[in-house]
Amino acid sequence: MPPNPGQSRLERLNNQIRTCARCPRLRAYCAAVARQKRAAFRDQTYYGRPVPNFGDPAARLLIVGLAPAAHGGNRTGRMFTGDRSGDWLYDALFTTGFCNQPTSTHVADGLQLHGAMITAALHCAPPGNRPMMQELVNCQRFIDATFDLLTDLRAVVCLGRVAFDAVLKHYQREGWIASRTLYRFAHGAEHRLTPCKPRTGRPVTVLCSYHPSQQNTFTGKLTREMFLGVFRRACELAEMS
Ligand code: SF4
């Protein structure tokens, strides 16, 4: 079978991500976590490098998180894999038809996404889930390159405010929006953005969701129904011609 050009472009981008060392603080932290490990995973070899994008290069839906979890993606090497946030995300993606199984435990578990891709504002876990501004700026080039890959994009789900800001900044750099002040983050909010050159692209709807972190899911701030509601809407948008 001839190589799929979209898959080749995704692999090239992912290789750039895996070898990136622009943020010394984050690289040192991820490497230290990988050496020290959590007791429950002490027999495992942590991945410990920048976590690449995961999904379908022909995606109509892009999901943007904050960053890999220190003992989730940083351990397994795949976005939202091996942590509680991932349990929520892949359950929602499976329920709405974007993937072939409801769980994501390790890179060889057979999980495939259909019509969706997952990325993050940062590809390295930050200490305390608190990135520095310069680190977010350093990683912008990978967000931009990810959007460039997805030529048939219809919807973006932003998991949390940091992801939302990263997506708005991307569209501001691209000239789609002049200012970010008009765009409000709230769970379930949606914003339809139109390209600055309408003949060269199609509108994209940006959907906001609370992040499925334990801080939100354990406290009931985010329920399964609330989370599924965002992905059902994303599914409608992705199916529009
Ligand atoms: S966060 Fe992004 S820019 Fe910084 S080292 Fe990781 S991959 Fe590179």
141-184 pLDDT per residue, tens: 999 999 999 999 999 999 999 999 999 999 999 999 999 999 99
Counting from 1 in the atom list of ligand 1, the atom nearest the Cα of 122 is 1
Question: Shortest CA distance to 160 belongs to which of 189, 194, 125?
Answer: 189
C-alpha span between 47 and 170 (Å, rounded)? 28
**Are the CB atoms for 191 and 183 separated by under 8 Å?**
yes
What share of residues in the chain are helix, strand, coil (percent, to 5)?
40, 10, 45
Q: Which amino acid is at 173?
A: R
Count of domains in the chain? 1
User: Residue 119 half-sphere exposure, CB side, CA atoms within 13 Å?
Assistant: 30
C-alpha span between 135 and 140 (Å, rounded)? 9
Q: Do you know the residue count of the chain?
A: 241
Structural domain boundaries enclosing 85: 5-239
The CA 122 to ligand 1 mean position distance, Å, reads 6
Predicted local confidence at residue 1, as pLDDT: 62
C-alpha span between 82 and 9 (Å, rounded)? 26
Question: Shortest CA distance to 205 belongs to which of 241, 167, 159, 154?
Answer: 154
The CA 131 to ligand 1 mean position distance, Å, reads 11
Report the residue among 124, 132, 133, 162 best suited for mutation to probe ligand 1: largest number of ligand atoms under 8 A from its CB: 124
The encoded tokens of residue 223 equal 């329920």
How deeply is 155 buried, as exposed, middle or buried, from its count of CB atoms within 10 A (0-12, 13-18, 19+)?
Answer: buried
pLDDT over 70 at 2, yes or no: no
Q: Which residues line ligand 1 (CB under 6 A)?
A: 17, 20-23, 26-27, 50, 122-124, 135, 138-139
Nearest protein Cα to ligand 1, atom 6:
124
Summarize pLDDT for 193-207 with one digit per residue, the tens. Answer: 998 876 567 899 999
Summarize pLDDT for 20-51 with one digit per residue, the tens. Answer: 999 999 999 999 999 999 999 999 999 999 99
Summarize pLDDT for 43-101 with one digit per residue, the tens. Answer: 999 999 999 999 999 999 999 999 999 999 999 999 999 999 999 999 999 999 999 99
Nearest protein Cα to ligand 1, atom 7:
123
Find the CATH number of the domain harbouring 163.
Answer: 3.40.470.10
Predicted local confidence at residue 201, as pLDDT: 76
**Are the CB atoms for 69 and 162 separated by under 8 Å?**
no
Q: Which amino acid is at 149?
A: L
The CA 121 to ligand 1 mean position distance, Å, reads 9
Predicted local confidence at residue 240, as pLDDT: 81
C-alpha span between 74 and 66 (Å, rounded)? 13
pLDDT over 90 at 138, yes or no: yes
Question: Shortest CA distance to 179 belongs to which of 189, 188, 187, 168?
Answer: 168
The encoded tokens of residue 98 equal 């974007």
The CA 138 to ligand 1 mean position distance, Å, reads 6
Counting from 1 in the atom list of ligand 1, the atom nearest the Cα of 30 is 6
- Strand pairing of 61-65 and 155-159? parallel
